[in-house]
Amino acid sequence: MTPIAEAVRAQHTLDPENWDELRTLGHRMLDDMFEHLETLRGQPAWQPVPAEVRQALDEPLPRGSQPVESVYQEFVTNIVPYTSGNRHPRAWGWVRGNGTPLAMLAEMLAAGINSHCGGGNQSPTLVEEQVLEWLREIMGMPQGTSGLLTSGGTMANLIGLAVARHAKAGFDIRKDGLQGVSARLTVYCSAETHMWAQKSMELLGLGSRSLRRIAVDAESRIDIAGLRKQIAQDKVAGLHPIAVIGNAGTVNTGSVDDLIALRQLCDEAALWLHVDGAFGALLKLSPKYRHLVRGAELADSLAFDLHKWMYLPFEVGCVLVRDAEMHRAAFATPASYLEGAERGMLAGGMTFSDRGIELTRGFKALKVWMSLKAHGVDAYTALIEQNMEQAAHLADRVDKHAELESLSRRQMNIVCFRYRPGAPMSDEELNRLNREIVLRLQESGEFVVSGTVLDGKYAIRVANTNHRSRLEDFDALAEAVIARGQRLLL
């Protein structure tokens, strides 16, 4: 044995010394988690973090080891009760999914086998391709469409826009970049578009001022005539329009742009149509509601989340790109240490790394695959329709109750309303009152709802992508808003 060998005779590892102990703890964790999920309804939806928990979570760097049991106990005591609450049956704040027990198990399995999912010759590659193929079919995009699972909507949208930039620049943008470009590459979207668009324009070096935010109509949809006019003006002014972003479900109100008109306009002007269908695109699953997002399938690139309206745990989104070769051309990068081979582990290449930014990727596809197979697509259809009908039911309650006021026409699963008592109050007073109602509802642990400002009016915002909610939860919300409002006015 060499001297070096002497030094490493200890044979350290992070595998447990005693497998049975960790196994036993693992089973306890699983039991606890199942019990937690099964009894969610009786728990607070959200609670502020108490001072003592803040203190407990502020510790010096742990040099030595601690018993795993006690670390787990800290998790149970200090973390579980004080989270973002979106898994709760009465959580409709923002557009966040709940997660499912089955997908929780899938995440455990994925972390157990810990596959590197950049591509290569392995089953996880086939599983991801399979999932992408299913999602393509659900979305109604043509065979041969390319795709990628991402961390979520922002990354999916960013990738779509990056492919658009590559396809429409008219020069070798990967090599030359945007520096020195005289005719500014310009992108168009509605004023209601999610902030990912601004962030992506900034990141891509296009600059937020190259993002033209077009006014919306009364239903928060992009004004097509205004868009057409702006593009024409910009061309005359020497700009270089490259892409239009269409919304299939805006974040504030769930509006859907006229995607068929956008497709036509993009064809005429040789522009890329990217559709942000973060949650809305999943309506494609429903024969009853898919007309609401008609035209999404005409996109050159389509982004959507699976951790929203497909109820999966974070993180997983998807981008589909009609022109597979263009998708690859925008990202594929060779490297000597990833030298291609017809055999061996790299056979097939780094397919997924070649379609996006990351080289190393986890096995996000497993939870999608297991869930789609075990629940079946029809279950998602039923749930999405249920969410729509629950939202309709809430909107109906709002309309019928004298002290509740709708602040947007419900188009999808989002209801924006406010408490408005009989006594006359200014918008400013109503804003303050409703903001306080939202905070009190959160703090009480009864409901997770969010707020947004529409036309200067503060709205209580209910975005229903919850597979655990029941109809009576929405009745209870309406009653709670009124009760809280009345109490605050006393």
Least distance to a second copy, CB of residue 356, Å: 9
The answer to whether residue 99 forms part of the interface with a second copy (CB under 8 A) is yes
* Nearer Cβ to a second copy (84/264): 84
The answer to whether residue 401 forms part of the interface with a second copy (CB under 8 A) is no
Residue for token pair 């800290």 = 74
| CA dist 204 → 273, 302, 356 (Å) | 17, 18, 14
Least distance to a second copy, CB of residue 304, Å: 13
The answer to whether residue 210 forms part of the interface with a second copy (CB under 8 A) is yes
CA atoms within 13 A on the CB side of 243: 31
Residue for token pair 């601004």 = 198
CB under 8 A: which stretch of 43-51, 267-275, 403-411, 421-429 binds a second copy? 43-51
The answer to whether residue 269 forms part of the interface with a second copy (CB under 8 A) is no
The answer to whether residue 162 forms part of the interface with a second copy (CB under 8 A) is yes
Least distance to a second copy, CB of residue 256, Å: 17
Site for a second copy, residues 435 to 454, rule: CB under 8 A: 435, 438-439, 442-443, 448, 450-453
Give the dihedral sign, CA 12/14/20/21.
positive
- Exactly one of 90, 168, 194, 420 binds a second copy (CB under 8 A); that residue is 194
Q: How many CB atoms lie within 10 A of CB 70?
A: 9
Closest C-alpha among 194, 134, 130, 191 to residue 161: 194
Strand partners, 451: 460
CB under 8 A: which stretch of 200-208, 227-235, 254-262, 478-486 binds a second copy? 200-208
Contacts (Cβ under 8 Å, ≥6 apart) of 278: 95, 153, 157, 194, 249, 251, 303, 304, 305, 308, 317
The answer to whether residue 98 forms part of the interface with a second copy (CB under 8 A) is yes
CB under 8 A: which stretch of 139-147, 151-159, 227-235, 263-271 binds a second copy? 151-159
Strand partners, 404: 419
- Exactly one of 31, 268, 427, 428 binds a second copy (CB under 8 A); that residue is 31
Q: State the Cα–Cα distance between residues 130 and 488, nearest whole angstrom.
A: 54
Least distance to a second copy, CB of residue 99, Å: 3
Hey, is 354 helix, strand or coil? helix
Least distance to a second copy, CB of residue 103, Å: 6
The answer to whether residue 184 forms part of the interface with a second copy (CB under 8 A) is yes
The answer to whether residue 143 forms part of the interface with a second copy (CB under 8 A) is no
* Nearer Cβ to a second copy (72/224): 72
Task: Find out whether 19 and 27 touch, Cβ atoms under 8 Å.
Answer: no
Residue for token pair 């009465």 = 90
- Exactly one of 203, 215, 225, 260 binds a second copy (CB under 8 A); that residue is 203
Q: State the Cα–Cα distance between residues 299 and 295, nearest whole angstrom.
A: 7
Hey, is 316 helix, strand or coil? coil
The answer to whether residue 213 forms part of the interface with a second copy (CB under 8 A) is no
Site for a second copy, residues 290 to 319, rule: CB under 8 A: 305, 307, 311, 313-315
Site for a second copy, residues 237 to 256, rule: CB under 8 A: 251-252
Q: State the Cα–Cα distance between residues 244 and 3, nearest whole angstrom.
A: 65
Least distance to a second copy, CB of residue 265, Å: 23
Q: For the chain, give the number of residues.
A: 490
Contacts (Cβ under 8 Å, ≥6 apart) of 172: none
Q: State the Cα–Cα distance between residues 181 and 207, nearest whole angstrom.
A: 12
Query: Which x/- pattern, by CB under 8 A, does the window 325-354 give for a second copy?
Result: ------x-xxxxxxx-x-xxx-x-------
Least distance to a second copy, CB of residue 261, Å: 26
* Nearer Cβ to a second copy (82/294): 82
Give the dihedral sign, CA 186/187/193/197.
negative
The answer to whether residue 471 forms part of the interface with a second copy (CB under 8 A) is yes
Count of residues of this chain found to bind a second copy when the rule CB under 8 A is applied = 189
Which ranges in 16-57 belong to alpha helices (H)? 19-38, 51-56
